[in-house]
Amino acid sequence: MRWIVLSALFVLRLAARVDRVRLLKAVGLMAVGYLATPLVAVGLREFTNAAVAGRVDVATAVVCAVAVLLVLELMLGHFAHLSYFEVGELAETVLHEELVRHVNGSPRLERLDDPAFADSVNLVRQELGKTRTAVESVLQLGGLVLQTGFTAVLLVMLDPWLALLPLAALPSVLIGRRAQNLLELAKEATAESTRRTRHLLELATTPASIKEIRLFHAEPPLLREQDTCWSKTSAALRGAHLRAAGLRALGQLAFSLAYGGAITLVIWQAARGRADAGDVVLVITLAVQVSVQVAGASTLLTALQGVGRTLDRLASLREPGESPSPVEGGVPGRLREGIRLEHVSFAYPGTDRMILRDVCLTIPAGGSVALVGENGAGKSTLVKLLCGLYHPTSGRILVDGIDLRDLPPREWQARVASLFQDFARFELRLGENVGVGDLARLEDREAISRALGLAHADRIVATVPGGLSGLLGHGYGHGVELSGGQWQTLGLARCLMRQEALLLVLDEPAAALDAAAEHAIFDRYAASSHEAGHRSGAITLFVSHRFSTVRMADMIIVLDGGRVVENGDHRTLLAGSGLYSELYGLQRRIYR
């Protein structure tokens, strides 16, 4: 119960924060509306007594008053709805923002690799929509408490024993909570298979995967797998729903017995002349109202319990907070020495397979470095470590002699310009798509055009109606869909927005481009990175499988099974008989 009260207080505080005036208006309207309901019962008692006594004028006046009360009850409810609905929408938006902040709370990616974290994010995403009605539930619950209190006073005035009637509702409320707990536990237990079911559904319905599914005729096995997953999930949920329904029926039975007892008591008193016909009508009406109030309260408490859990899960996603950086001055304005890796080994969180093993390297300031190696050698992983997205499992990465762990992570990442293989496709306006690379210049059309020029993306701008203001993507609206290579070129322009970067990372940025486009991009990129290298000692790091590109680097690092097996410039490595010259020879023969 404490939990529900805390959730209700949280929701009220949130609602007051987003729109205090609308909230107060809704509270006032609902309070008057809810008090009107027991007054209707009092009116019916007066009407019955007046009718029995043959006082038509009084009976008529009372009936009119009852009619006004009923209209008031309905109308005030509608007007209150207008106020709390909007407050609920605003509150939900705030919670969505909170979810986004929590998921992106850490500058690193460790938590995103944790399946329990992924399950919690999924459950919160699924349930957050229901918090929109949380404001309504809290206000209605408050109204019901007010109404039940007033009803109890009226019942006590008739017979103190009748005060027990609202109390008889408690078992059903408590049992209802237990039933809800059962359902929540079942949802948690099935979170993983629910996530898998959704993933399979997404695979079978999103354009990115649908082509392969059609061509491989993969629909039947996907459907079978989805069916198996869903059967498992729904069997567990169905069992929990059945048990919850049984418990709730027990609670309702307890209240029904008390209800029958109250009516019997007042009829018995009327038979002994201690109550009149109006009192019997009053109790029957109030008892019906109490039953409606209890059912309503139980539903609202159940809803609030669910909201409470979602809010709790949301709070659990909050990042515990970064420890303050002990290094004063933070990230250097320009690199003087460069980046050194000392015995760096790394395994992804939750796994014990070492992806990088005892990597020792020195990358001098102002240099360009290419990472080479077969698929799965650990190139992207090394890049992610250098970007500060993960910390090494053992060993150190030093930036001008300072351990990357000791640098403020967001400050370091603000000085990294990166384009990954799995680059983002922001379905925004073209200018925004590039501008997000440097948020301070999101609206700076001149800077955006310059970055687009450097990335050779002017032709893309010309094909999008509206140019920089044109909408991209088919996901929503009527944006222009781009080819894979065009999206990637925009990603490159986004990366080139960062002029103050100390580390420029291109992780196979040209995978979706043709060889000529790749060469042109690297030529331009090399020129701009040379300039950055002179200006700020920036290091350019790129991952590529194309040796025509790789050979342009000052230093080439060859990774094999997570270890650095060779390292030097193109000429030196080619002269040796190691993996580099072997791979280079292989590619030359293929392209000859």
Ligand X SMILES: Nc1ncnc2c1ncn2[C@@H]1O[C@H](COP(=O)(O)OP(=O)(O)OP(=O)(O)O)[C@@H](O)[C@H]1O
Residue nearer to ligand X on the CB measure, 351 or 577: 351
Cα 79 from Cα 91, distance rounded (Å)? 19
Cβ atoms within 10 A of the Cβ of 440, count?
9
C-alpha Rg value of the chain to the nearest Å: 34
CB of 348 to ligand X, least distance (A): 3
User: Among 166, 366, 373, 431, which residue interacts with ligand X (rule: CB under 6 A)?
Assistant: 373
| Nearest residue to 539 (alpha-carbon basis) of 342, 340, 329 | 340
Cα 262 from Cα 550, distance rounded (Å)? 88
Q: Is 367 in the site for ligand X (CB under 6 A)?
A: no
Whole-angstrom CA distances from 480 to 384, 433, 511 are 31, 13, 22
In terms of DSSP H, where are the helices of 416-553?
Answer: 430-435, 445-454, 458-463, 484-496, 515-536, 547-550
CB of 557 to ligand X, least distance (A): 12
Q: Is 376 in the site for ligand X (CB under 6 A)?
A: yes
Task: Say which amino acid occupies 226.
Answer: Q
Residue nearer to ligand X on the CB measure, 252 or 488: 488
Q: Is 352 in the site for ligand X (CB under 6 A)?
A: no
Residue nearer to ligand X on the CB measure, 371 or 495: 371
Give every strand in the sheet of 338-347, ordered side by side: 354-364, 338-347, 394-399, 402-403
Structure tokens at 148: 């039940």
| DSSP three-state, residue 342 | strand
CB of 386 to ligand X, least distance (A): 12
Q: Is 113 in the site for ligand X (CB under 6 A)?
A: yes
CB of 221 to ligand X, least distance (A): 23
Axis crossing angle, helix 277-316 with helix 115-127, rounded to the nearest 10: 140
CB of 395 to ligand X, least distance (A): 16
Q: Is 111 in the site for ligand X (CB under 6 A)?
A: no
User: Among 147, 197, 298, 380, which residue interacts with ligand X (rule: CB under 6 A)?
Assistant: 380
Residues 6-45 that bind ligand X (CB under 6 A): none
Residue nearer to ligand X on the CB measure, 3 or 348: 348
CB of 345 to ligand X, least distance (A): 13
> How many residues bind ligand X, per CB under 6 A?
12
Residue nearer to ligand X on the CB measure, 38 or 373: 373
| Nearest residue to 204 (alpha-carbon basis) of 193, 219, 221, 216 | 219
Q: Is 464 in the site for ligand X (CB under 6 A)?
A: no
| Nearest residue to 391 (alpha-carbon basis) of 376, 406, 380 | 406
CB of 541 to ligand X, least distance (A): 12
Q: Is 409 in the site for ligand X (CB under 6 A)?
A: no
Residue 431: how many CA atoms within 13 Å on its side-chain side? Answer: 15
Residue nearer to ligand X on the CB measure, 307 or 355: 355
Task: Classify residue 369 as left (phi > 0), alpha (psi -120 to 50) or beta.
Answer: beta
Cα 454 from Cα 446, distance rounded (Å)? 12
Stretch that binds ligand X, among 194-202, 248-256, 376-384, 521-529 (CB under 6 A): 376-384
Stretch that binds ligand X, among 163-171, 260-268, 378-386, 482-490 (CB under 6 A): 378-386
| DSSP three-state, residue 413 | helix
Q: Is 379 in the site for ligand X (CB under 6 A)?
A: yes
User: Among 155, 168, 355, 369, which residue interacts with ligand X (rule: CB under 6 A)?
Assistant: 355
Residue nearer to ligand X on the CB measure, 110 or 225: 110
Cα 542 from Cα 355, distance rounded (Å)? 19
CB of 14 to ligand X, least distance (A): 35
Q: Is 557 in the site for ligand X (CB under 6 A)?
A: no
Yes or no: say if 28 and 139 are a contact pair by the CB < 8 Å rule: no
Per-position x/- string for 309-348, each x denoting binding to ligand X as judged by CB under 6 A, each - no binding: ---------------------------------------x
Stretch that binds ligand X, among 28-36, 368-376, 523-531, 533-541 (CB under 6 A): 368-376
Q: Is 391 in the site for ligand X (CB under 6 A)?
A: no
The residues, ordered by sequence, that sit 6+ positions from 475 with a Cβ below 8 Å of its Cβ are 427
Q: Is 375 in the site for ligand X (CB under 6 A)?
A: yes
Q: Is 351 in the site for ligand X (CB under 6 A)?
A: yes
Cα 584 from Cα 572, distance rounded (Å)? 13
Q: Is 378 in the site for ligand X (CB under 6 A)?
A: yes
Structure tokens at 458: 């002017």
Contact set with ligand X (CB under 6 A): 113, 348, 351, 355, 373, 375-381
